[in-house]
Amino acid sequence: MRANLLTRTLVGVTALAGIAAGALAGASTGFAAPVPASQPAASSVVAAPAAVDNLGLNYHRATGLQCWLHNNDWGYNGAIDGQLGTASWMAMQRYLRFNDGYTGPIDGIVGSGTISALQRALRGDYGYTGGIDGIAGSGTKAAFARFADDMWEEC
């Protein structure tokens, strides 16, 4: 009888251990943190153009250019803050359309059409000797700085 009681106790303890182990195994998956949603590796959003593009001009030169754009009726009415943003470039595009063959939209975006017209403007008096390629390289930026210095003197 003792053997029978010992066997029943051992079977009961084993069963209880099995139930507890099963409950713990179920709890480990049931209470696990949720799997995060997968994220795309690259964004499909198109990058917006920079809001400010001084093309290498420092504060002094950029404020001089803004002052000149304002005083010479190119439609710049923004702040003279040294930040060549959309309004500054729209005024510059108006100037370039009138003087240097800019044919693109007056949108304030400093794209290749704006840069090409700027390069044409800089070719004569401001020492730009590179190609009219629409890329604002070091030669374009240096000539643009000379242009801005000249405009600052007028302001």
**Per-10-residue mean pLDDT, the chain, length 155:** 44 44 47 50 47 94 97 95 97 97 96 97 95 97 96 81
**Per-residue confidence (pLDDT) for residue 34, from 0 to 100:** 53
Residue 28 lies in a domain: no
Query: Which domain does 116 fall in, by range?
Result: 59-154
Burial of 86 (0-12, 13-18, 19+ CB in 10 A): middle
Residue 11 lies in a domain: no
Number of H helices, E strands in the chain: 5, 0
Residue 31 lies in a domain: no
pTM for the structure as a whole: 0.67
Residue 37 lies in a domain: no
What does the alpha-carbon distance between residue 154 and residue 37 come to, in Å, rounded to a whole number?
59
Angular region, 78: left φ>0, alpha ψ -120 to 50, beta rest? beta
Residue 36 lies in a domain: no
**Per-residue confidence (pLDDT) for residue 152, from 0 to 100:** 82
Residue 102 lies in a domain: yes
**Per-residue confidence (pLDDT) for residue 2, from 0 to 100:** 45
Number of domains the chain is built from: 1
Residue 133 lies in a domain: yes
Residue 149 lies in a domain: yes
**Per-residue confidence (pLDDT) for residue 111, from 0 to 100:** 96
